[in-house]
């Protein structure tokens, strides 16, 4: 027999309904779940492998379709907006790749817990693992699009300066929001099954409301309203460092504020309702 593993979870489970100790349990869920990142990563790879099973180029289909979209939209919208293709294309490449990632995280976040129903009802596993799995899966998929950005930058002669290092805090902001959204939407949509479809149509609307296809400057003197859009703020913390010399300070401030609020709401909801998830899924 395998010797009991010291890394295995604590061997005593006590639950007293009179003292639910929600904060401690939620905290334990988060720390244990993050410690199990190897499991989450393995599950993320399995998701990708199963999604593209039998396909010859696998997730590179996404690269291909994003590439085709870039060429088509780049030609059309640079003409519509009367922008030079060489100036417009780097903006579009970064925006589209980041937007696809944000959109996939939000939409797949709605099923992060319901799709793991069988496991949730079988064993005591931190729910954090399921959220982490969704975030990692989408991060891996999005990484397949990175060559496109590189290619466009080379073709258009874009060479970002030292401000490119700001991409790192931008990625941290995106990662925190991705985790919060996956956990929060996963729970909310397990409880209220109508929210999933609503989120889908909201994301479609947001695609047009957010400067993905269009450049923020095109708004003219209405530009000051942009930081009200959380998607813009998060998108700008990545696009800014890459193509706009760092991004506007208002976007960074808004992104930090939204991230704090987003995390706060997600964690508060998690602490309060974690114990009900098994009944919801």
Q: List contacts with other proteins (CB under 8 A).
A: 1-5, 7-9, 11-18, 20, 35-36, 38-39, 42-43, 46, 49-50, 53, 118-125, 191, 193, 275-276, 278-280
Contact 266, 180 (CB under 8 A): yes
Q: Which CB sits closer to other proteins, 203 or 278?
A: 278
Element (H, E) at 183: helix 167-191
The whole-angstrom separation of Cα 112 and Cα 101 is: 15
**Which of 25, 248 has the CB closer to other proteins?**
25
Q: Name the residue nearer to other proteins (CB basis): 216 or 275.
A: 275
Distance CA 102, CA 142 (A): 10
CB of 113 to other proteins, least distance (A): 13
Q: How far apart are CA 241 and CA 168, in angstroms?
A: 9
- Nearer to other proteins among residue 45 and residue 60 (C-beta): 45
Reference 151, options 75, 92, 72; nearest CA is: 92
Structure tokens at 111: 């099923």
Residue pair 124/28 in contact (Cβ under 8 Å)? The answer is no
Cβ proximity to other proteins, 3 vs 220, nearer residue: 3
> Nearest approach, Cβ of 67 to other proteins (angstroms)?
28
Q: Is the Cβ of residue 30 or residue 70 nearer to other proteins in the bound state?
A: 30
Q: How far is the CB of 151 from other proteins (least distance, A)?
A: 33
Q: What gap in Å lies between CA 153 and CA 148, rounded to an integer?
A: 9
The least CB distance from residue 21 to other proteins, in Å, is 11
Task: Name the CA dihedral angle for 218, 222, 223, 227, rounded to a multiple of 10 degrees.
Answer: -140
Sequence length of the chain is 281
How far apart are CB 49 and other proteins at their closest, in Å?
7
Minimum distance from residue 192 beta carbon to other proteins (Å): 9
Nearest of 153, 154, 182 to residue 242 by alpha carbon: 153
């Amino acid at each position: 027999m395998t010797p009991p593993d010291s890394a295995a979870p604590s061997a005593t489970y006590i639950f007293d309904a009179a003292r639910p100790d929600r904060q401690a349990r939620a905290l334990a869920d988060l720390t244990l779940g993050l410690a199990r990142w190897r499991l989450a990563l393995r599950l993320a790879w399995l998701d990708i492998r199963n999604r593209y099973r039998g396909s010859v180029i696998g997730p590179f289909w996404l690269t291909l379709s994003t590439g085709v979209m870039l060429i088509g939209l780049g030609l059309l919208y640079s003409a519509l907006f009367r922008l030079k293709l060489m100036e417009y294309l780097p903006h579009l490449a970064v925006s589209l790749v980041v937007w696809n990632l944000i959109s996939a995280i939000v939409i797949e976040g709605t099923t992060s817990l319901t799709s793991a129903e069988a496991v949730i009802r079988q064993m005591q596993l931190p729910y954090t693992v399921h959220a982490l799995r969704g975030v990692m899966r989408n991060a891996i998929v999005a990484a397949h699009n990175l060559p496109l950005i590189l290619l466009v930058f080379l073709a258009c002669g874009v060479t970002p300066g030292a401000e490119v290092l700001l991409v790192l805090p931008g990625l941290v902001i995106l990662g925190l929001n991705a985790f919060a959204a996956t956990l929060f939407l996963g729970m909310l949509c397990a409880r209220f099954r109508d929210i999933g479809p609503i989120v889908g149509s909201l994301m479609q609307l947001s695609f047009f409301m957010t400067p993905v296809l269009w450049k923020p400057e095109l708004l003219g003197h209405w530009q000051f309203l942009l930081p009200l859009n959380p998607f813009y703020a998060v998108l700008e913390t990545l696009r800014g460092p890459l193509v706009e010399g760092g991004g506007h300070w208002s976007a960074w401030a808004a992104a930090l504020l939204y991230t704090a609020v987003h995390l706060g709401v997600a964690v508060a909801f998690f602490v309060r309702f974690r114990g009900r998830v098994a009944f919801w899924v």
